[in-house]
Copies of this chain bind each other. A is one copy, B any other.
Amino acid sequence: MTRKIRIKDIARLAQVSVGTVDRVIHNRGEVAEDSYNRVMEILRETGYKPNLIARTLGSHKSYRITALIPNPDQDEYWHQTFDGVVKARDEWAQYGVVIDTCHFDLYDKKSFEQQANSLLNSNPDGILTAPIFHQEAVAFFKACKSQNIPFVVINNNVAEEPSLGFIGQDLYQSGRLGAELSHLNNEGGGVYAILHVYDDIHHSLHLREKEKGFRDYFDEQRDAGYTTLSLDLNHSHEPTLEKELNDLLSNNQLKGVVVTTSRGAHIVSRLIERRGKNKLRFVAYDLLEQNIHYLKLGIIDFLINQNSKRQAFVGIGNIVNHLLFQRDIPRERLFPLEVITRQNLSSYLQSDHH
């Protein structure tokens, strides 16, 4: 193992000072073409790799990263995101990285815009966000770019303004997985439904992706006896909602249901609990308290875990690696689509990566 080569070494070899070497390494200019080439050459020859540890210690920068996410108190899913941010805060505190969060109202675009603006004014070194309001997010990202603030995106991607990186899942494939799990072992046709239940319209974009995957799965099945159904139950008046769901569940051709939102999963679970489950297959999303409860009861058959906590944690980690260590980070990091059943539930709950 040849001894690690330092800046000092290449300075000696190129017959310049460490200052000069540093200048060429960082393209800071102010160096004669002559020395520049000489240093570059040696750099290449020796295959010099900077010591990142020393680098961060030497540059006494301290970074401030802000996470712009929905209010954790409005929704358990987003609370897990928040948990991930907090975990990242603990992890990186010792490196002098300050991480704070900034919440917006999950159901209010205006609130997002407001928070986004005040965030931009505070001029952080990096941003993590979940762009659930598409239009507003695009505008926000444009602003980040013009201010030269790197940002990473979690939960759902926004194609228009490429970020430093996206962390999330393949939603289309997730829909296909939902279809598969609702269908498993049920040969010979039937009705399969995918339900979106929400208070506001804003989720629609990424829920559509799941729906597409769901439909495509059944379209591809050889025996063509499948009917797929998609219901958007878009209102907060529960009695009406329950009526519509009851109608659906009364269809005795109905073999499987996938519910894409936590709110919906909860309501459908309660309904099935009352009406009895029969052979119906029921798939929902995420390790949320209610979902875990109904999974244990056998009302829910499968959960697909999106691991929002880890998304946030990895997202922050990426920003830190970019800022602190100048490491390349992947433009897209798709998490595995985790399938949770009654028998592997505990292994997920105790593994600290959820």
Contact = CB atoms under 8 A, between A and B. Distances in A.
B53 A95 contact: yes
Interface string A294-319: 00000000000000000000000000
Contacts of A51: 57, 94-96
Interface in A315-354: 333-344, 346-348, 350-354
A183 to B, nearest CB: 10
A50 B57 CA distance: 13
A56 B94 CA distance: 13
Interface string A34-57: 000000000000000111111011
A353 B338 contact: no
Interface of A: 1, 4, 49-54, 56-57, 93-96, 98, 169-170, 173, 176-177, 179-181, 184-186, 217, 281, 333-344, 346-348, 350-354
A351 B335 contact: yes
Contacts of A94: 49-53
Given A53-B56, A53-B95, A351 B339 contact: no
27 contacts: A1-B98, A4-B96, A49-B94, A51-B57, A51-B94, A51-B95, A53-B53, A53-B56, A57-B57, A170-B346, A170-B347, A173-B343, A173-B346, A176-B343, A179-B343, A180-B341, A180-B343, A181-B343, A185-B185, A185-B186, A217-B343, A336-B338, A336-B353, A337-B344, A337-B347, A338-B339, A339-B341
A51 B346 CA distance: 35
Contacts of A336: 338, 344, 347-348, 351, 353-354
**Copies of this chain in its oligomeric complex:** 2
B335 A169 contact: no
Given A184-B185, A336-B338, A351-B335, A177 B344 contact: yes
A282 to B, nearest CB: 12
Given A4-B96, A186-B185, A344 B351 contact: no
Contacts of A180: 341-343
A347 B168 CA distance: 11
Contacts of A281: 185
B53 A177 contact: no
Contacts of A49: 93-94
Report which residue of A50, A335, A336 has the largest number of chain B beta carbons within 10 angstroms of its beta carbon: A336
Contacts of A344: 173, 177, 336-339
A180 B345 CA distance: 12
A339 B342 contact: no
Contacts of A52: 94-95
A98 B3 CA distance: 11
B347 A169 contact: yes
A335 B181 CA distance: 23
Nearest to A349: B336
A1 B337 CA distance: 39
A354 B347 CA distance: 17
A337 to B, nearest CB: 4
A327 to B, nearest CB: 10
Given A93-B49, A170-B347, A177 B335 contact: no
